[in-house]
Amino acid sequence: MSNEIKERTMSPKAYRRGYIVAVLVGIENDNAVLWQIFTQIAKHQQTIPLNGDRSEPKAVYSFHESIVNALRPTLKEGVRSIIIASPAKTNYAQEFQNHIKAHHSWLLQGENRATFSTITGSASTPPQVAALTKTSLFKKLIQETASEETENLLEILEKRLNKTDNLVLFSVEEAENLILGKQAAGKPKPEYLLLTDNYLSSSRQKNRVHRLLQIAKNRSVKTRIINAESTAGIRLTQLGGLVCLAKID
């Protein structure tokens, strides 16, 4: 799998599974299964049943809403690459995408938009997911969605750099002061903590940076570790390798 974008992680177990790159949603006739796709493994996140029949519009609407709600926590953490899988000769994936367009256009617009792609196949069980993620098409989708996500992050970064009402910080010390400090009303609040994988691996303050990433995530700051060779990674490197973006509500 591509490691275009990597999620911060701390524990030895987390290192063994790699870094999160996307969320896979396997939609079947009567349920949907969500998986967090890491560079090394796929981790089951949640199974959502369809309470009713697909011939019942209200049941399908509620089903799709439940999927969106299940995606919210991961989206809030900054992981915005979503791959939707459904069996051959079904339109389940397209129906879900239509639901998003009709009822959740916020997922497709603005700085925090998500990237959606579809693939044919079942993703309800570990063996099915293992087989699907090994295909060249799935690997290509991971690369494409990750690339688009880094472009979105770069767009956010450039906009913030050109604004005077948003705060952009370039050092661990400054980021710590903002993230660990009291979040008073009317004052800048941390929104993103972005750094390259090269910065993390070569930092002389590695433990300090890992601690900051952990605290940032606990405080609902979107944390992303980005491949230094990607377009966004190259720009981050030009800025020192680490950037903390803040905004004033």
List, in order of start, the domains of the chain with CATH numbers. 5-149 (3.30.420.60), 163-247 (3.30.1330.30)
Residues in the chain with pLDDT < 50? Answer: 1-15
> Which amino acid would we find at residue 45?
Q
Q: Tell me the CA distances in angstroms from 92 to 44, 50, 111, 206, 242, one per residue in order.
A: 20, 12, 27, 44, 40
Residues 6+ apart with CB under 8 A from 193: 175, 179, 212, 213, 216, 221, 222, 223, 224, 242, 243, 244, 245
Long-range contacts of 86-95 (CB under 8 A, 24+ apart): 86/26, 86/27, 86/28, 86/118, 86/120, 86/121, 86/122, 87/28, 87/120, 87/121, 87/122, 88/120, 88/121, 90/29, 92/27, 92/28, 92/29, 93/27, 93/118, 94/118, 95/60, 95/64
**Confidence (pLDDT) at 8:** 35
**Confidence (pLDDT) at 124:** 95
What is the SS3 assignment for 198? helix
